[in-house]
Amino acid sequence: MPLLVAGCSLSERRPDPRSLSAPSPPQGFVTAGEIDAIAGAHRPSPGPTSADLASDRLIWTREGQTPGTDRWYLAIRHVELRPAFAPQHFDCALGTRLGATETPAITDLFTRLGRDVEAVWQKLRAARPRPIDIGTDRTACIRLPEGDSGHGWSPSGGAALATVWAEAMADLAPDRAERTRRIGQEIGLSLSICGLAWPQDVAAGQRLGQAVWQAARDDPAYRELADAARAELRTARTDPLENPACAAERLTLRP
């Protein structure tokens, strides 16, 4: 089952017959009992409610976040949440450039944490239309797959992923913890800017991501992989080259 599809939602798909004999994907760090406990402590949001509509309208009309703005284009970038590419969202916060080839342990860490989020999310998610699905005059910031209509979920799986990854990056680079956590929050906001998730579902996804992170960080396998990822990050941060998108990101997210 893939972690992500277009639109930043964790989603079920029919397995590819060619993959049936392939090696099993890497598992996460959270035990089955912990997954059940986390799922039981979280609930999908009702709605969309009038409060959802009001908060979404505020985001949609806020100056600097409408289509064609710098923040809109940053939101388009944030929609890419596959583990091989998602670490690059934290390049500017960390002052480096990350890549699946150069930093495989970080990619593995993102992949396995994503498995944990998916395992919990699959147990408690509830379908609900997204802002772009109910006639709010919203325009999606990405091209959606054909037939992708009314396929939103609560809580937001994308926001949960962004949160758990931001916490992992804060753990790897404590001196940049505030910056990496902000990027996690901005990715959640991007899902709302794009009309792909209600703000209430983003907030629920962020709480879910925090719960998954708290469970995963105690696993010895997590600590072992985090040590390898931390060493990769130290080496990457000695390279003076910067992601060319950082100047635009700093301009967009300036106070």
The pLDDT confidence band at residue 47, using thresholds 50, 70 and 90, is: confident
In whole angstroms, give the CA distance from residue 166 to residue 185: 8
In whole angstroms, give the CA distance from residue 35 to residue 216: 10
The pLDDT confidence band at residue 149, using thresholds 50, 70 and 90, is: low
- Going 204 to 39 to 213 to 242, the CA torsion angle's sign is negative
In whole angstroms, give the CA distance from residue 254 to residue 251: 5
In whole angstroms, give the CA distance from residue 157 to residue 44: 11
> What percentage of the chain has pLDDT greater than the value 90?
66
Residue 242 is predicted with a pLDDT of 86
Amino acid at 150: G
Q: Are 87 and 166 in contact (CB under 8 A)?
A: no
Residue 198 is predicted with a pLDDT of 93
Q: Is the pLDDT of residue 148 over 80?
A: no
The pLDDT confidence band at residue 150, using thresholds 50, 70 and 90, is: low
Residue 4 is predicted with a pLDDT of 42
Residue 101 is predicted with a pLDDT of 86
